[in-house]
Structure 1
Amino acid sequence: MSQTQSVAAQPTSIAKALAIAVCATALLAACAPANDAASPAADAEVPAIAPTSTAADDVAPEPAAPVSDAASGTVGGDGSQIVLDTLGETDLGSANLAGELACSFSEDDQPPLLYAMGVVGSQDPAQGIVKVAGYVEPVRAPGGFDGMTQNPTFTGQGKTIRIEETGEAIGGGESPPRPATLTYLRADGASRTIEGRWQCGP
């Protein structure tokens, strides 16, 4: 080959070499892994968003209404009933109440729910008993027998009992009963009112 032909062939060889280099670069670029740094990972943890309160959540709860028991008439307190049982002859005999004359509260013609005795003209408290949920408990009222004849208030451990006459005497005789209410007030705020009759005398 002459020197002229050799010089003419050099540009063609260079062009081929450049073409092969470009193809190789393109192939390497296609096979290389994608750059993860350019975009966040698909499984990256997403920070939790704290729940926001709504208008309904911000409303303060209403105060609880007084607890009442329709069967017993108990209102308020811890929800337990005030149960007053009638007093039997054994209860009255075991109490050994001192006094001259007695007063009692009863529902209709039932045995008494409260029974007390006191001395006429004495300032010593009248002594009485009630039966609360099966247990006989002592109560007292100031002013002896005379203090019991007009809307007396009896007190005992954890309790206050108020008697209030609500009408005229029923019938005649020396000690006729009068319509009245007995209101039992317990130390925890519970109360119960019972309609009945209050009777004082021999």
Structure 2
Amino acid sequence: MMTKQFLPLLPLAALAVFAACSPSSDVPEDGEPTPPPALEGTPEPVATPTATSGGDGSEIQLQGLQPEDSAGLTGDEFCTFVEEETGDFILVASGVRTSDDPNDARLKVGEYVENYVSTERGFGSMLDGTSFSGRGFALTIVPGEPVDSPEESYQQIDAQLLVQRADGGERTYEGMWSCGP
């Protein structure tokens, strides 16, 4: 049975037991910590390069569109941008060949499909590259070299999709811009 005179010493005793069970410090007497031993076969961490530059530093990550994502786009002619690296359709645009109305486009950012409107009017304005604007992004198709198309009414060009975010972040996707009926 403990007496009242030993109760104030109980926290000190617990502290002493805790200190005795703790691992010893890796700091030698000269004050410099000793690094832990390297595990054999463990690769050094490598900084992964980011494809997004500027802005707040967060990645611009576009997702591949599914057929249902383009439902509701009006127009009798369509253009698509297919990313070279993944083969995904990451932008689809539509317009009316005989109209001067703005063209519509869809882009998938994360899990959200966003609508964009062309800065130029009429389907013909999209054939050799174009620009779109919408929620949080400006999109520019930068045309490259034409590619032989399997059909005469179908046009394909190597292109880049430049995605610019409102905070100054931007990312360029390499791919193919294809337009036709």
Specify the TM-score bucket, using the shorter chain as the normaliser: 0.5 to 0.7
Question: Does residue 126 of structure 2 align to residue 148 of structure 1?
Answer: yes
For 1:185, the equivalent position in structure 2 comes to 164
For normalisation by structure 2, the TM-score amounts to: 0.68
Identity %: 37
For 1:128, the equivalent position in structure 2 comes to 105
Unpaired segments ≥5 residues, structure 2: 1-46
Q: Per-residue deviation at 1:170?
A: 3.3
Do 1:74 and 1:191's aligned partners in 2 also have CA atoms closer than 8 Å?
yes
Unpaired segments ≥5 residues, structure 1: 1-68
Higher relative contact order (CA 8 A, sep 6+): 2
Q: SS of 2:123's equivalent?
A: helix
For 2:41, the equivalent position in structure 1 comes to none
Do 1:170 and 1:179's aligned partners in 2 also have CA atoms closer than 8 Å?
no
Report the CA distance shift for 1:71/1:130 in structure 2 as closer, same or farther (over 3 A): farther
CA-atom RMSD in angstroms: 1.8
Counterpart Cα distance in 1 of 2:145 and 2:101 = 28
Question: Does residue 142 of structure 2 align to residue 167 of structure 1?
Answer: no
Do 2:127 and 2:155's aligned partners in 1 also have CA atoms closer than 8 Å?
no
Do 1:72 and 1:82's aligned partners in 2 also have CA atoms closer than 8 Å?
no
For 1:198, the equivalent position in structure 2 comes to 177
For 2:65, the equivalent position in structure 1 comes to 87
Q: SS of 1:74's equivalent?
A: coil
Do 2:144 and 2:159's aligned partners in 1 also have CA atoms closer than 8 Å?
yes
Question: Does residue 56 of structure 2 align to residue 97 of structure 1?
Answer: no
Do 2:55 and 2:167's aligned partners in 1 also have CA atoms closer than 8 Å?
yes
For 1:107, the equivalent position in structure 2 comes to 83
Report the CA distance shift for 1:92/1:72 in structure 2 as closer, same or farther (over 3 A): farther
Q: Per-residue deviation at 1:144?
A: 2.1
Between Structure 1 and Structure 2, the one with more strand by share is 2
Number of residue equivalences:
132
- Whichever residue aligns with residue 181 of structure 1, its letter is Q
Do 1:158 and 1:187's aligned partners in 2 also have CA atoms closer than 8 Å?
yes
